[in-house]
Structure 1
């Protein structure tokens, strides 16, 4: 799998840099460029609007379809890498989308669109996305789905698309949408407008969605973060019966903690509580330097040990709260005696341990 970068290069990626679900090997994702304009929405659940003020990693409110470079980028990939399957992501479909634009994207060589649909009810979509433009996508969606393979993302938000999830998926199937992905809304302490789903709601959505998928033929995807909230997240690896020869700790988010304990039964796994976002965000990719340091402070001081961090917590060379990788590594080594390594996925951890001489 690849991402097509702004400088017209292919960057190899893994599924953990997308939604964590299994993807086709020939996929190339085209995200928004820096020239992309705003999404035209003010969604109740938008993660960009519920970040702590101390967060230094900023993402603009852009939309891939509001990118003047989009057709040129698609055409370049189509011409130079004809064997790849081209997908556009990061779009709400509220701006820059009409029948003429759909034809333009088709002529450029686009294969697939991943759209933040959320609901098929116009009034609810307008209210959820807080945009008067949000209703028009529902009328366009059948044409879009006849032209491209469409993945519909749904951020499950109580009061908007949970109770009627079955009807929403039936609507999407009738519009020829190929796939729907269900993501429970994430709520930090800085968002008072929505609440997380209860366990009963998660179970209801999962069972209903899978039943409707079986009945209609639309592909229903339950991503890892959804499964983790139900305690059902499993990876097809391990367990690894390895025991390092030096003090070693694997740090991860609260959601992945049970599965990493299963995969590495002989290595201490430590769940880092994400206080930066308010204590109820458990994904490893949103861990911060300050929360990691607070957790490492509780580890025993050693002459030489090893701390393993999730690579997904680094954005470029920094954490979300501004620590550079070098600064974080240095502080942990000087203050507690642990060298620091990172891994993008659990299967890499044995190789990392071997590289540093821990096994």
Structure 2
């Protein structure tokens, strides 16, 4: 007999009718294992409630006895009751966080980076998601312009918090200019969620001549009057050579310093009023504002709290500085090992790290042995210069001039979970193209220091 909760299940993503959650792994000796579930089985509902995402699963499976509607590996459907001890895990890991397809962006943001990518970019790079569930589960920023009334009620009811929200600007007409015709709906939904007790981490992509200057101050003042906005991160416009709209961001010292100086009064006030700076600038602003002297101007560690905005490029340099200082003994040991083996190691970095990590290497006992290899991003062009966006083709070209007797190491941040760079090259591809062996190392200072020592000692 067919399970009613499983009827109408769709196999393709993006269809709201697709309600099946595919099991990726089953923990041995767990309730799910004992019930006979295997990887590939589908869960359609919990106690009759269809599953759209992991959030639904966590909400509906909170009790210690649940009824699971399923489709097994033979295509047979049914329902089984699972029981567990208090605090025990059900033992199920799902294939993905959302089961009914990712909700995509319906905006026309003038600064959209995905629209600036080369035509040959893989599909996952140009997918413009705007899914509030991924904001909660994975830290993605969303505009809320596609948020339905039903979802807003669900978020408040379940207190799904915090969310990461793209704010950008608060003046209505300017928001429409930057984001598109749905911009007002995003603010309406944001205010509704805040009133419902949802905490928000906001982001502003700063575009010169559009939402900087007085508009930035106005936006920050509006955000500060909404206590649910826990903090604001400001990142500069990033643009590639594969577009014609932008020619500059905040790459010049005067432009970057103007932003730093505009934000500092808000930081001082918030520090006194709330005990933390509240608004944070991406590291690029400091790197561009104070070329050659960046390390002296990076805010103290106390400004960054638990470094929760690390993935947004906020606090990375300060974190590296702290790790570098804490690794002084290991650095001395590595310097001795490099000297003993007469070894030279080239560490690949994006141009944004010239005055940061590269400067720390050059001013340390490792100078002349651990050599920063600064790679210009020709693949994307524009002002793209961070290490994490380096592409294999540019790296391979840059290391062709390195001696075959030297070592070349690549930071892991260049590669995705499947081991590919943004231009779909693997470590082996880079090695074959460059004609030299290369090794991937951690981005953590103590870890890559240890890994490099092991590499040269062979």
Q: TM-score, normalised by structure 1?
A: 0.78
Residue in 1 aligned with 2:412? 311
Q: Indicate the residue corresponding to 1:158 in structure 2.
A: 208
What is the aligned partner in structure 1 of residue 451 from structure 2? 352
Could you tell me whether the CA contact under 8 Å between 2:392 and 2:423 is conserved in 1?
Answer: yes
| Cα separation, 1, equivalents of 2:457 and 2:100 | 42
Contact 1:237 1:263 in 2 (8 A): no
More displaced stretch, 198-207 vs 171-180 = 198-207
Counterpart for residue 118 of structure 1: 168
> Unaligned stretches of 5+ in structure 1?
1-5, 10-29, 75-85
Out of 127, 130, 133, the residue aligned to residue 60 of structure 1 is 127
1:182-331 superposed matches below 5 A: 182-194=234-246, 195-197=248-250, 198-215=252-269, 217=274, 219-230=278-289, 231=291, 232=294, 233-234=317-318, 235-238=321-324, 240-241=331-332, 242-243=334-335, 244=338, 245=341, 246-265=343-362, 266=366, 267-278=370-381, 280-302=383-405, 305-315=406-416, 316-331=418-433
| Higher relative contact order (CA closer than 8 Å, sequence separation 6+) | 1
Specify the alignment match of 1:173 in structure 2: 224
1:31–1:90 Cα contact (<8 Å) kept:
no
CA distance in structure 2 between the aligned counterparts of 1:138 and 1:252, rounded to whole angstroms: 39
- What is aligned with 2:442? 343
More displaced 10-residue stretch of structure 1: 276-285 or 207-216: 207-216
Change (3 A) 1:32 1:200: farther
| More deviation, 319-328/147-156 | 319-328
Distance change >3 Å, CA 116–CA 8, structure 1 → 2? farther
Check whether the contact 2:117–2:126 (CA below 8 A) recurs between aligned residues. no
Matched residues, number? 312
Work out whether 1:108 is the aligned partner of 2:130: no
User: RMSD across aligned C-alpha pairs, in angstroms?
Assistant: 2.9
Moved over 6 A (4+): 6-9, 30-34
Summarize the Cα distance change of 1:117–1:312 in structure 2 as closer, same or farther, 3 Å threshold. same
Distance 1:301-1:87 versus aligned 2 partners, 3 A rule: closer
SS at match of 1:237: helix
- Deviation at 1:144? 2.1
- Shift, 1:306, TM fit: 1.7
Distance 2:381 2:138 in 1: 34
When residues 163 and 174 of structure 1 are mapped into structure 2, their CA distance, relative to the original with a 3 A threshold, is same
Contact preservation (8 Å) 2:159, 2:198: no
Q: What is the distance in 2 between the residues matched to 1:7 and 1:48?
A: 31
SS in 2 for 1:308: strand
* Contact 1:64-1:91 at 8 Å conserved across structures: yes
Kept in 2, the 8 Å contact 1:285–1:312? The answer is yes
Task: Give 1:7 shift.
Answer: 6.6
Task: State how far apart, in whole Å, the 2-side matches of 1:8 and 1:219 are.
Answer: 39
Which secondary structure does the structure 1 equivalent of 2:125 belong to? coil
Q: How far is the alpha carbon of 1:322 from its aligned partner?
A: 1.8
Q: Normalising by the residue count of structure 2, what TM-score does the alignment of the two structures yield?
A: 0.62
